[in-house]
Amino acid sequence: MTRVLFRNASVVLPNQVSNDSVLVEDGKILDVAAGADAAADQVVDCQGLHLMPGVIDDQVHFREPGLTHKEDLSTASHACAAGGVTSFLEMPNTKPPAVTIDGVRAKEQLAAEKSLVNYGFYIGATPDNAAELAKATDVPGIKIFIGSSTGNLLVDEQEALERIFAETTLPICAHCEDEQTVRANADRLAGTTDVADHSRIRDVRAAMIATKRSTDLARKYKHRFHVLHVSTGDELQYLADPAPYITAEVCLHHLFFNVDDYPRLGTRIQMNPSIKTAEDNRRLFDALLSQTIQVIATDHAPHTLEEKSVAYPKSPSGLPAVENSLALMLDQVTQGRCSINQVASWMCDAPARVWGMVGKGRIENGYDADLVLVDLNKSKTIRDAEQHTKSKWSPWDSVRLTGWPVATYVGGQKVYDAVDGFDEAFRGAKLRFDHSRGGYWATPDGIGTA
């Protein structure tokens, strides 16, 4: 058995920060309050550093298979490790799309061969694969595109949506933009080359219609449902009374970018759902603080800079974010807008509970030793050229942040160090999901262990 002692850390526990030492044995947390002289094979000096649970990003697009000129599971997982992300859940809109169990298993095999961090893959809904979705097991959940997709991944007919909510049991998440509203707006603004019109095409009304429609279905069928990338303050009215079924997330770009940034950043911040207003930024951050929104994710969706530089509307929507997401929120901690415990809740514990990820999300005895050492005093400027994502750019290029991850551990094994780089030989593990534990609202004390 291998023992690692994280000595003299500021340990980020669910409800407090404790100056303590954490003992890890064979990839599990053995003691969150071990003595500084506890016997160990390896001692990590954490003086002046915080020890956090590893970040879980529950919405990423890592482009493999089929679009690997933009990203692949190796480059994306390196970006994750550098950013303190120890587990990811990847969306089904690859080529081919993962709309069958066999398709999901094929992606899991690719990740087993390539990923430095832990992984899970959603199964995608189509208008006619409810029977396949009903058979699915050992996956985080079902992804529905209610808008912002094409081909068989677009599900916007009411009958098909009702069938998915009624005939399946896995938790569901959805991209909520009303397709008819988006198309009508696009027709009205046909011929535009102004990227700012993207936020007029994918407007507040499109988001509100789809979010209301899907949350109504969740309540009707008492089916666990997660609203992906909430982009407007107006949508919060549909999340204010979540019952035991509804959770929601916000992404970094909807917290920190708004329509006033289009002149400066152009298509770099072209996203679906679109960027909204500064007032929406404020309301969404307040919704995190009030727990109306539970999760922060990235919707990491890279394209090459060449692709992003094409004139709107031919430019694609999407941006890379996994390696800067934790630093962006640690910077908010150093500014006094939130606490490091809140960041750990939004980025670690909550996604583990939403998706039933066994043994994840907390520093607690028996949990997996997915850990991140962070330095709240470290300041660094984000640079395109230094990004680990294959796309080699960030919408936060030239932004200076204070508070950075400096080492990342997966199952007790160091996979990234800011000085020494990556452990290229290590591979993460397939995540375990136990949906019988009831999701976020049923697990206030954490998702628990095996």
Architecture in CATH of 54-360: Alpha-Beta Barrel (3.20)
Q: Is the dihedral of CA 213, 215, 218, 221 positive or negative?
A: negative
Q: Which residues face 144 on adjacent strands?
A: 174
Element (H, E) at 262: helix 262-265
Confidence at 151, pLDDT banded by 50, 70, 90? low
Question: What are the tens digits of pLDDT across the range 339-382?
Answer: 999 999 999 999 999 999 999 999 999 999 999 999 999 999 99
The CA-based dihedral angle spanning residues 237, 242, 245, 250, taken in that order and rounded to the nearest 10 degrees:
60
Pairs from 307-314 (Cβ < 8 Å, separation ≥ 24): 307/70, 308/267, 308/268, 308/270, 308/393, 309/267, 310/267, 311/193, 312/192, 312/193, 312/194, 312/195, 312/197, 312/198, 312/266, 312/267, 312/270, 313/192, 313/193, 313/197, 313/198
Helix (H, G, I), strand (E, B) or coil at 324: coil
In angstroms, the CA 318 to CA 308 distance is 9
Report H helices in 38-120.
Answer: 73-83, 101-114
DSSP 8-state secondary structure symbol assigned to residue 100: S
Confidence at 450, pLDDT banded by 50, 70, 90? confident
Contact yes or no for 411/368 (Cβ under 8 A): yes
Domain ranges within the chain, ordered by starting residue: 3-51+366-422, 54-360
Tell me the fold of 3-51+366-422.
Urease, subunit C; domain 1 (2.30.40)
- Which amino acid is located at 366 in the chain? G
- Of 405, 322, 410, 430, the closest CA to residue 370 belongs to 410
Residues 6+ apart with CB under 8 A from 306: none
Element (H, E) at 124: strand 123-124
Question: Which pair of tokens denotes residue 251?
Answer: 């992404």
In angstroms, the CA 99 to CA 93 distance is 9
| Residue corresponding to tokens 């960030």 | 394
Contact yes or no for 114/390 (Cβ under 8 A): no
Question: What are the tens digits of pLDDT across the range 65-100?
Answer: 999 999 999 999 999 999 999 999 999 999 999 999
Question: What are the tens digits of pLDDT across the range 39-67?
Answer: 999 999 999 999 999 999 999 999 999 99
In angstroms, the CA 191 to CA 33 distance is 63
In angstroms, the CA 441 to CA 354 distance is 8
Task: Centre a 10 Å sphere on the Cβ of residue 247 and count the other Cβ atoms it contains.
Answer: 25
In angstroms, the CA 60 to CA 76 distance is 9
Question: What are the tens digits of pLDDT across the range 189-237?
Answer: 999 999 999 999 999 999 999 999 999 999 999 999 999 999 999 999 9
Please give the pLDDT value at position 150.
Answer: 63
Helix (H, G, I), strand (E, B) or coil at 272: coil
The pTM (predicted TM-score) of the whole model is: 0.98
In angstroms, the CA 101 to CA 92 distance is 11
